[in-house]
Each structure stands twice: as C-alpha cells, then as structure tokens.
Structure 1
C-alpha cells in the first residue's frame, strides 16, 4: 500500500534478480469476470493478471516518463521494503499504470502517487462514488482505498463479481482478492475513457528482458535526431523487453561510444545500448534483420564501439577486477562491464616500470602475450590501451623495471 512520493532520484542498478511477467489467469482466477467492459479495460486486466504471483516492490513502476517494471526502493517507514531494490516490479499504482499503458499505448497514469491520481486523474474518465456501491463497476475500473479523511493510500483493478487484482505491500506478492476485504476503506473508482491499441501487443511473448541505467530517451528510430517517444527523467532503472538490435547512429556518453541500438516492442521505440546494462552488443539478442518489418543488421558493430582493441580506456564505469603487487607497486586489471573492455594499470611505481595484459581464448591455457605493453615514463603510474574481453579471459602483468620481477593478476 505504501506509495512512492515524488522520488526524483538516480538509482544505480544492482544487477539483481528481475521480475518477469507470466501468464497466470488459468491458475489464479485472474481475468475479466463480467461482461460489459471496454476492450481497453479488458486488456488492462489481462496485463495485470500476467504479474500475479510476482513480488511487490515499493516505488516499482515509477520511472519518470517510462512506465513498466522498475527497480524498487526503500520505504524508510517499512523494514519489509529493505529488499525491494533487489526487485524490478511494481507497487500498487505502478501496476495499474503499466496495465493501462499496455492496453492503450498511452501513459495515462504517469508516475504520480495514488493520492495525486485520485485528486486529478489527468485523463478522460467516469468517476464512481462509494455511495453507488460495487454494482456499477466493470472490469478494469481503478478502485481507490484509504482511511476516511486521509485520502487514498492504495489502488487496485476491478475484475468483476466482487474480485480485484492488486499489488498489496512490501513482502507480499501481486494477487487476486475480494473487494469486501477492503470495502470499509473504499473511496471510489475511475473508469478511463481510452481505446485499445493492438499495436502495443506486437511480438507478444518475444524478446528478452534487460535493465536500463541512466536517463535514456526512447526514440522513434535508431538515431539521436529522431522523435523522442519517452524520456526517463529520474533515472530509475526499468526492466525493458528487447526484441532485436541493429547498428544505427554512433552515440557517445561519458566517454563511452556505441553505434548499436535495441528495439523495445512494448514502447515501439529504440534505445541506444549505451543505456542498457550489459556489453555493447547484447548477448543472445538477434539482429533486427531477422524481423523484415523492422530491418537492419549488426554489420560494423564490432568496430564501432568504445571497446576497440588498442583504444584509450576513457569510458566511465571501470572497476578493478583483479590485482596483485610487485615490490610495492599495485598491478590491476581494469574492466568495464558495459563495454566488456579490459586494460592494465600499474600504480605506486617509478619510471621504467612495465605494464601489459595477456588475453586467452581457452581459459588461460594459452594466451596472446604483452598486449598494450607500456612503461612509466614520468610520475608513478601508467596504463595500457584497452582490449576487447567479450567471451575471453584476461590478466594484467607488471614489473618493477626492465629485468625486474614479473607479477601477474589472476585471469578474469
């Protein structure tokens, strides 16, 4: 029930388990249970029902400008929410937002709180009061609950026949319940006036899920001059369905360069792979050439990213994967998870100290030696150029000057 309250923060994705939608209507009884609802309302119910059994996440579904399952946040008033950042899912209004977006192709609810959407829905609708009872309700109607005089604190989708689907609170799962259990706190309902958009269901069940980071624009085409369809204004990581990828315009961000773009069928939009967690070219995601109605290939992707062999390691997000010491010097294998590049660095040394990397395709049994060999020419530090590490292992080796001892990090 606890809801996101205007969280305009940038969230760093943790790379932890994501929540996936699964058809659940037959097993859960979650489906439109009465006739008379619009096609859009029935579709909204069907979307919400796919997530029955998935874990609630406080703040989930509240990326600014981009609906969909997103990284949960901690509600400081609720210890049960402390694990929510490990989930990509929904809170109560986040689920309703996604359900109606998927049904209509329009972000009707936006990332606002339950209280805000009850006070000013912001879309054409019919409103129902508690005094009218439940007999006027139809599947897909958005039901609001809360303490009298305090405004609503919870929202659910009506299924019909006295049943609803809801995301209750941290520590619980999205589930089907009777409205009688909450009727005492029922405050009213809204019925959106919107048409179903069949195109939003294109390639339903196809593609794989990936997580965003940063504040990407989702565009009409695979270039930065095309129309922006959605903008992630607060940087909350969203779990997006990627259908395919292709080479498009070369884009740059924080020193990283990539010309690969991914097609997101739930948004009918493109995202630069700079904003998708993972390597520059996503593994196991096919070329858009496999989908003639989309088109495009990955030709040129291997030579037009920020991870070209022998290029400068100037991309953000690097970390030390392995390290060792040689006579007081620190030898590090630096690695960038987004581009899958690695390079060597030696620190705390002196002029003449050497650093290089070895790269192996068989787990370290054999290797290509001394890639990017360089020495400290002044000061105390030096680094090699970067080398593609996708599907390979690498290590960094350093010396305390020509002819000195050689120490290598472990393979990574």
Structure 2
C-alpha cells in the first residue's frame, strides 16, 4: 500500500509549479502597467513663470546666479535702462534711453536692472560679491572668463542652466539673458516691464551663448586702454571689424606676432595680439605694457585658435 504521504508529494510539486506559473504570468501582466504608471509620473513641463534651474548639469555657482536673478523676479523688480551699473552690483535708478525716450520716461523713477545689470548682479551674488561681469552685454559675452562658447547654429541643445544668451551682431550685441533650461530664460527685457521668465527667442538676432568660469582665469590676462578700440578679423587696419572696446577692458591674449605697422595715439608698433575670446586681433598699442608683451608666446609657437 502506498501511504497518503507518498500520494501527496507529486500533488504538492504540481501545485508549486502551477503557483509559480501563475505568479510569473501576474508579473508579466503587471510590468506594462507599472511602466505606464512611471511614464505618467514623469515631471510635467515647467509652469509659466517658473524661475529656477529647469534642467540638470548646472554648476553650483550657476545655480546661485539663477537664484539671485529669480529672487528679483519674485520681488517684482523693474527693468530700468542703465540700471544695475553703479559702483557696485545691485539695483539702481535707471535713465531715459535716448533711443526710446517715451517707453523709458519712468526709468529714472524706478530702481532696477537692465539686461546686463541683472547678469552682473546675479553672478556677483553667485561668487560672494566678486564683480566678475561688470560691463555691458558685449563685454559680458566676450568675457575673459569664458569656460565655453556656443554659436547660434548649435541651438539650445548643448546649453546648461546659468549660461548667458546674447542677441545682436558681432559688432553690436544688444541684449543678454540667463538660461534656465527647457527653452526658458530669465531676463530684464525692456522699459515698462518687470524682470521676467521668457521663452528663448531663437530668432535672426540670436547670436550665441557663453558659459561663465567663476574660478581662476587661465591664460595671459592683460588690460586695454582707450575708448572705442576695434578688434580686427586679421592683424591689419583694413581687415573687418569684430568688436570695439568701449573703454578699458580685461582681455585674454593667446599669442602675438609682427604684422602691419600701426601709428596711433603718438605710438608706433607692428605687433598684434590674438584674442581667443573674440577670435580677433588688436594692435599692441592699445594693450597696457611693452610693445612686445612679456611672457606671451609668438603665434608661430602658439597658433591662433581656429
């Protein structure tokens, strides 16, 4: 006689196999549901006016700059033409814009920022008060503190929150803003408006972007003198103009070479320096120091960045 226990063993094994198959089927049926639920839980698009980093990858300093700019948005700070360009970073009363006197007529009554004044303030706050971006939009875009540069053709794909977006031409950059990510930016746009979050305008006047290096500056750093000093596409007075220094400006020099002789301001010199941040040349007459800059290599040894 076969015991009851002996009869039950095969039954228990079959039961276990059956339960395992049922469990496996349940898992297979559950996975698509879980995946769908996960997809539904994905972060929603940023709400209108959402002022914060809207993409990953920003440096801690860039996040602090965004926080400083967004604090001014939350406070309802006005755009004021010339605002933010006092002796120290921060809001100031504006001025009447000669090119738009009607819309800017109240700017002298309002404390606030213009586009570059806001950028200056934001990055000063991000660096513990260091005034690293003092200047107008062109000077901020062409800063010697550039960690990376991006052309208009590259679009927004390579950008990170905190990068600076610029509009205009190589001879006249007229506007600058701080990228937030997800196609959004924080900006001081124009007279009669308050600081705001906007969609990035990738129109015909969008020039490109720059990532700010808030740490130590590398390279040969020098200072220009004079006003409205033009950089050139080639080391020649007849070459195309690239950008004019409105006043004394900090620059980074990659190399220097003997080229066209220049007579200006009572000086004569045939040495030109290549400025990698501008991809342009300037006569050494307008760089403070000797005719041949000490420590800067000859361009034969350090060819200009293409």
Q: TM-score with structure 2 length normalisation?
A: 0.51
CA distance in structure 2 between the partners assigned to 1:49 and 1:142 by the alignment? 15
* Secondary structure at 2:209 match in 1: strand
CA offsets 1:115-157 (integer angstroms, 9 cap, x no match): 2333x313242111112221000000010012x4653200000
Q: Give the match for residue 196 of structure 2.
A: 175
- Distance across 2 between alignment mates of 1:124 and 1:172: 30
| Aligned equivalents of 1:149, 1:86: Cα separation in 2 | 33
Measured in 2, the distance between the counterparts of 1:94 and 1:26 equals 26
- Does the CA-based 8 Å contact 1:60-1:89 persist in structure 2? yes
C-alpha distance in structure 1 between counterparts of 2:127 and 2:116, whole Å: 16
Select 1:191's aligned residue among 191, 211, 229.
211
Residues 12-47 of structure 1: per-residue CA shift (max 9 Å, x gap): xxxxxxxxxxxxx99830100001110000110111
- Counterpart Cα distance in 1 of 2:203 and 2:183: 10
1:109 and 2:129 are equivalent in the alignment: no
Q: Whole-Å Cα distance in 2 between the matches of residues 149 and 121 of structure 1?
A: 14
1:128 equivalent among 142, 150, 172? 150
Note closer, same or farther for the CA distance 1:186–1:27 as it changes in structure 2 (3 Å cut): closer
* Mapped contact 2:146–2:213 kept (Cα < 8 A): yes
Judging by fraction of residues, say which structure has more strand.
1
The TM-score, its normalising length taken from structure 1, stands at 0.38
Q: Which 4+ stretches in 1 moved above 3 angstroms?
A: none
Q: What CA distance in whole angstroms lies between the structure 1 residues aligned with 2:153 and 2:97?
A: 33
In the alignment, does 2:53 pair up with 1:29?
A: no
Once residues 42 and 161 of structure 1 are traced to their aligned partners in structure 2, the CA distance between those partners, rounded to angstroms, is 15
Partner SS, residue 98 of structure 2:
coil
**Counterpart Cα distance in 1 of 2:202 and 2:155:** 13
Q: Secondary structure at the match of 1:51?
A: helix
Tell me the residue number matched to 1:208. none
Aligned to 1:324: none
**Does residue 111 of structure 2 align to residue 88 of structure 1?**
yes
Tell me, in whole angstroms, the C-alpha distance in 1 between the residues paired with 2:154 and 2:173.
18
1:58 aligns with 2:81: yes
Distance (whole Å) between structure 2 residues aligned to residue 129 and residue 48 of structure 1: 24
Greater Rg over alpha carbons, structure: 2
Structure 2 Cα separation of the partners of residues 48 and 184 of structure 1: 26
Please list every run of 5 or more consecutive structure 1 residues that lacks an aligned counterpart in the other structure. Answer: 1-24, 196-412
Whether 1:69 and 2:91 are equivalent positions in the alignment is: yes
2:185–2:199 Cα contact (<8 Å) kept: yes
CA RMSD of aligned residues (A): 1.9
Aligned counterparts of 1:26 and 1:88: Cα–Cα separation in 2: 28
SS in structure 2 at match of 1:145: strand
Residue 140 of structure 1, aligned match among 162, 166, 171: 162
The 1:186–1:72 alpha-carbon spacing in structure 2 relative to 1, beyond 3 Å, is: same
User: Does the C-alpha gap of structure 1 residues 108 and 26 become closer, same or farther in structure 2, counting only changes over 3 Å?
Assistant: farther
SS in 2 for 1:131: helix
Equivalent pairs, count: 166
Paired with 2:148 and 2:60, the residues of 1 have a C-alpha distance of 16
1:88 offset after TM fit, Å? 1.3
**Deviation sequence 1:275-321 (CA, Å, 0-9, x none):** xxxxxxxxxxxxxxxxxxxxxxxxxxxxxxxxxxxxxxxxxxxxxxx
CA contact (8 A) 2:49 2:198 kept: no
| Alpha carbons 1:58, 1:73 under 8 Å: kept | yes
Contact in 2 for aligned 1:33/1:161 (Cα 8 Å): yes
Question: 5+ unaligned residues in a row in structure 2: which ranges?
Answer: 1-45, 216-306
Q: Secondary structure at the match of 2:124?
A: helix
Spell out, residue by residue over 1:96-125, the C-alpha distance to the aligned partner (whole angstroms, 9 max, x if none).
110011011221111x2212333x313242
